[in-house]
């Protein structure tokens, strides 16, 4: 996968902004709140840009949380 660069991707910037509160958010929360599809791909791209984002499953719901920002950000 070739990850988009955060600096040039409004899509990744929206997801990062949405996760910036440090709380857990479900896939659906992120889809609606950041106006994106393929949340798992967005998370993978943010990780490739140096962000530490956790993921855990609670029943049928996947929850994502921004743990640490990239040093260059």
Per residue in 7-29, pLDDT (tens digit) is: 999 999 999 999 999 999 999 99
Task: Output DSSP code: residue 4.
Answer: P
Handedness of CA 51, 6, 46, 29 (dihedral sign): positive
Output the average pLDDT for the chain. Answer: 93
- DSSP for residue 36: -
Find out whether 18 and 25 touch, Cβ atoms under 8 Å.
yes
Q: Is the pTM of this model over 0.85?
A: yes
Q: Which of 20, 61, 15 is nearest to 38 (CA)?
A: 15
Q: Which domains does the chain have, with CATH numbers?
A: 6-67 (1.10.10.10)
User: Can you state the angle between helices 39-48 and 10-19, rounded to 10 degrees?
Assistant: 90
């Amino acid at each position: 996968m070739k990850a988009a660069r955060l600096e040039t991707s409004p899509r990744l910037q929206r997801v990062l902004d949405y996760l910036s509160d440090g709380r857990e958010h479900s896939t659906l929360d992120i889809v609606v709140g950041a106006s994106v599809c393929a949340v798992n791909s967005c998370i993978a791209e943010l990780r490739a840009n140096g962000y530490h984002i956790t993921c855990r499953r609670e029943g049928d719901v996947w929850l994502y949380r921004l743990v640490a920002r990239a040093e260059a950000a």
